[in-house]
Structure 1
Amino acid sequence: MVGQGGSASTEASIYDDAAGGKGVVRIAAVAALGGFLFGYDSAVINGAVSAVAKEFDADAASLGFAVASALLGAAAGALAAGRIADHVGRLAVMRIAAVLFVVSAIGAGLAPSLWVLVVFRVIGGLGVGMASVIAPAYIAEISPARIRGRLASLQQLAIVTGIFISLLVDFLFARAAGGSDQPFWFGLDAWQWMFLAMAVPAVLYGLLSLTIPESPRFLISKHKITAATAILSKLLGETDIELKIARIRETMERETEPSWHDLKGPSGRVAGIVWVGLLLSMFQQFVGINVIFYYSNILWEAVGFQESQAFVITVIGATINILTTLIAIATVDRFGRKPLLIIGSIGMTITLATMAFVFGTAPVVDGTPVLEGAQGPIALVAANLFVVAFGMSWGPVTWVLLGEMFPNRMRAAALSVAAGGQWVSNWIITVTFPGLKDVSLALAYGLYATFALLSLFFVARFIRETKGKALEDMDADVPHRQDAARR
């Protein structure tokens, strides 16, 4: 272990370089850039999927696996990120993720076969999974409680911005080349440039991670008290910083190295809060939000829209997602986490049920529903209102809660489990949608509507409000230890 002096001067100087009037906002924004790459990597396949199918003559099953392959890597990356972050630090995980994103961008863009593309998509998925864990954990750990919800929501804003930029880049490349499968620069097709473009923000993410300080709570866990004190005092502007340090140390003191055993409660079983976090993550995906972003182009083409129209519809949906995330940022610290989730669940249930009804009542021609008259506009409005309901609630608030709801001693590990479950759930939804679509779009959206309704009851019963609470107040073991001390 490092003594109390640690690397105080280094950490403090990094903070001084990064700070300013809005230093903590800039630091959080840099961490959230991982979310931008998370969104970009997740959605880039949308504009390329038709061209990939033609280029490699992929059948439906192979194509579905290729689209979902990044999610398998994301699940593995999420599960690994917490352990790595607890051993070598939050910043190290960000830098590893940046390298993985660069490798994935180049490898996927130059892939000579479908299965090589899958391999590099999995590598990119590892980066996505790591970013999905480390950004909310780091942001929660450096944020003052009064604005923690807003700063943590930057993660979702970055994700949806990454999705938007990815879809916009896909659209621009496809339009400039005359189609996603047409040749563009240097003999490479437009779809290849869609992947290659991700290398630019990935390199930027890696470089910017060199300009922000390590999480003070991680430093305290490694007994670098002087460095942590310097960073906390500037981040929080508190005069009673010694008391803050003492409270953090109380919730993070340990005699052993961090491990999966940290997920256990006083009873020796997996703590209930871990299960709540896992289910929260799963519900976020089981409502089918990523079907909109992974498959929206081929979905709208399947019901009669042209490729160019489908691209425009998809970009509009991504724009709406960004705008509604801004609503969440403005309200999450005012109204709280739980009310926003409840409102979102109600909105998602209604809009998904509407889509299921429209597709279920549309005439079917050659196995595909054909939207006639008002059915097309109704389906488009319902899809975009679904994005609104998700974007102002479950999108950002899930990440806010995952970053702050767990006790200090288990935060990284518990977030790994929750994020890993989220990516597995995302994979299940993504890989099953092509088959469900072929059977019935009404069935697919009916299932998603059912999960949205169940999410309402889950939030009402199990989610506890965390607005304005210090991270140390989330530690379920503090009262337990205090009672034991009194006895």
Structure 2
Amino acid sequence: MAGGLLAVGDGNVSGFGGRLTASVVITCIVAASGGLIFGYDIGISGGVTTMEPFLQKFFPSVLRKMLAAEKNVYCIFNSQALTSFTSSLYIAGMAASFVASRLTRALGRRATMVLGGFTFFIGAVINGAAVNIEMLILGRILLGFGVGFTNQATPVYLSEMAPPKWRGAFNTGFQFFLGTGVVIANALNYGSSRLKWGWRLSLGLAALPAMVMTIGALLISDTPSSLVERGKLEKAEQSLRRARGVDSNVEAELNALIKTTEAMKAASQEPFKTIFERQYRPHFVMSVAIPLFTQLTGINVIAFYAPVLFQSVGFGSSAALMAALILGVVNLGSILVSTGLVDRYGRRVLFLQGGIQMILGQVAVASVLGSQIGVSGSETMSKNYAILVLVLMCVYAAGFGWSWGPLSWLVPSEIFPLKIRPTGQSISVAVNLAGTFVLAQTFLSMLCHFKFGIFLFYAGWIAIMTLFVALFLPETKGVPLELMHTVWENHWYWRRFVKQESPTTTTLPKQMD
């Protein structure tokens, strides 16, 4: 993988290899734990909204619909106030991600992660102590700021710190911890649902993963790219040697980082203007398309409302929480599959296979719901068919877990040149959170109006995005970040936009198309 790479500028770059060291493993695991806070929140909010004491205190109208003798199962939880509780976090996160872009450049990736963890901690404490809906929403907004900061900084940190050969595996660590957070939250919801104050426990314990991430981030060094960008060359070399091995030759990689940074500063153009230049057209398109398509898989709203969904199709309250837990465990296991395959077979194969699997899963769920519950939503689904829905949802979740789940964080974090990397990542995170906000705010209403057709809606979008990947996403497996421009220069469509970065020859690794 490291072979077949020629010069960049005047520095000889032979793949920027370096062996896999304990230091880089520990550092990347600590950084990836930033996914815990996002995953915990995704898992916790859906479960809490099915707990009767929580609904009685904050959303009594929803509880009355749940207890009504006659009901349309598609519309039980259709409440804009209830969806605002879930979605307010994501509009705050979207705003925070743009601020995080500047913080990441000025203060570094590590400092932004620390700030995100601390803000999330304060929001969790407020949520756990909430006495009215205003306090509840304030806590969610602070959680959103924390998510916006960490989601912007952590994937970039992982891509910059990991050796190119294993960059995909390390970056999927973020999604693995995200999935772990979902599973922990679902397990906690299942256990605490029997307690009258269980919702406070579920919401308040979000402070724990925030503490884990914040303390961990304080103990690791910043990335060499960030340190060079801020003029700390000696610390950058130390960080690079720890990551690549103390006896490794890091001069070529360090020189490449310095040259890239000097070129970036010489241009001295506002990054938010630079990214709109013609030569960065493919980067900008991917920074918008990949996170937007990820939301249009429907995975996050299904994760938020999994207990609600399973309760709607016939599971009892506790059984619905257990079904959501099973769904989370399947998703988590599939992320491990991606970790083992992403650097061996590449990004595109997983994107395409996962997309086809998700389409089949969504169509099958729609077929079962349509035949058993019907359009009216007044029919009762048998236990066996409810279990079948769970199995089909697990097929769908597994497809997402080894494709769009981890890759939607990995690919945007690795495709940008250094001078627009924080900006590109902030746009990607903002689009992700904006899409999450819109879909979280509208899902329960869409479920009420679209009925089982909501799953066909998502299946249609997955078909479109799978075709998009097949046509427009180049393979980035094993390509050093400093040579990433070559994948665009060699792509059948994007090469018409991209300028050659250097007058010297650059080639891709031999495995690349």
TM-score, structure 2 normalization: 0.84
Cα offset, 1:115, TM superposition: 2.4
CA deviations 1:169-212 (Å, max 9, x no partner) are 1111113x2xxxx1xxxxxx110111111112212221111110
Which shifted more, 52-61 or 443-452?
52-61
The reply to whether residue 80 of structure 1 matches residue 89 of structure 2 is: no
Letter in 2 for 1:137: V
| Alignment of structure 1 residues 163-178 onto 2, 5 Å | 163-175=182-194, 177=195
Letter in 2 for 1:43: G
Are the structure 2 counterparts of residues 211 and 310 from structure 1 closer, same or farther at C-alpha, using a change threshold of 3 Å? same
| Alignment of structure 1 residues 261-410 onto 2, 5 Å | 261-265=273-277, 271-364=281-374, 367-372=377-382, 375-410=385-420
Partner of 1:228: 236
CA distance in 2, matches of 1:159, 1:257: 35
Cα offset, 1:444, TM superposition: 1.0
Contact 1:349/1:449 (<8 A) preserved: yes
The reply to whether residue 260 of structure 1 matches residue 260 of structure 2 is: no
| Alignment of structure 1 residues 70-149 onto 2, 5 Å | 70-149=89-168
CA distance in 1, matches of 2:472, 2:243: 32
Gaps of 5+ in 2: 1-19, 62-78, 490-497, 506-513
SS at match of 2:167: helix
CA deviations 1:347-404 (Å, max 9, x no partner) are 0111011111222222449644532475323322110100010001110112111221
Partner of 2:43: 43
CA distance in 2, matches of 1:393, 1:71: 23
Contact 2:227/2:235 (<8 A) preserved: yes
Contact 1:303/1:369 (<8 A) preserved: no
SS at match of 2:34: helix
CA distance in 2, matches of 1:282, 1:231: 34
Cα offset, 1:116, TM superposition: 1.9
Gaps of 5+ in 1: 1-19, 183-188
Letter in 2 for 1:423: L
Partner of 1:247: 256
Contact 1:349/1:453 (<8 A) preserved: yes
2:214 to 200, 206, 212: 206
Contact 1:303/1:368 (<8 A) preserved: no
Cα offset, 1:43, TM superposition: 2.0
SS at match of 1:271: helix
Letter in 1 for 2:252: L
Partner of 1:55: 57
Contact 1:364/1:370 (<8 A) preserved: no
SS at match of 1:480: coil
Contact 2:97/2:430 (<8 A) preserved: yes
CA deviations 1:395-449 (Å, max 9, x no partner) are 0112111221111111111011011101111112211111112123322111111
Partner of 1:482: 502
CA distance in 1, matches of 2:436, 2:80: 17
Which shifted more, 419-428 or 257-266?
257-266
> Percent same amino acid among aligned pairs?
26
CA distance in 2, matches of 1:290, 1:266: 33
Are the structure 2 counterparts of residues 142 and 373 from structure 1 closer, same or farther at C-alpha, using a change threshold of 3 Å? closer
Contact 2:314/2:382 (<8 A) preserved: no
Partner of 1:68: 87
Contact 1:87/1:258 (<8 A) preserved: no
CA distance in 1, matches of 2:227, 2:379: 57
Aligned residues: 454
Are the structure 2 counterparts of residues 50 and 214 from structure 1 closer, same or farther at C-alpha, using a change threshold of 3 Å? same
Are the structure 2 counterparts of residues 239 and 304 from structure 1 closer, same or farther at C-alpha, using a change threshold of 3 Å? closer
Are the structure 2 counterparts of residues 218 and 93 from structure 1 closer, same or farther at C-alpha, using a change threshold of 3 Å? same
CA distance in 1, matches of 2:251, 2:259: 12
Contact 1:46/1:297 (<8 A) preserved: yes
Contact 2:354/2:403 (<8 A) preserved: yes
Partner of 1:11: none
CA distance in 2, matches of 1:335, 1:143: 18
SS at match of 1:482: coil
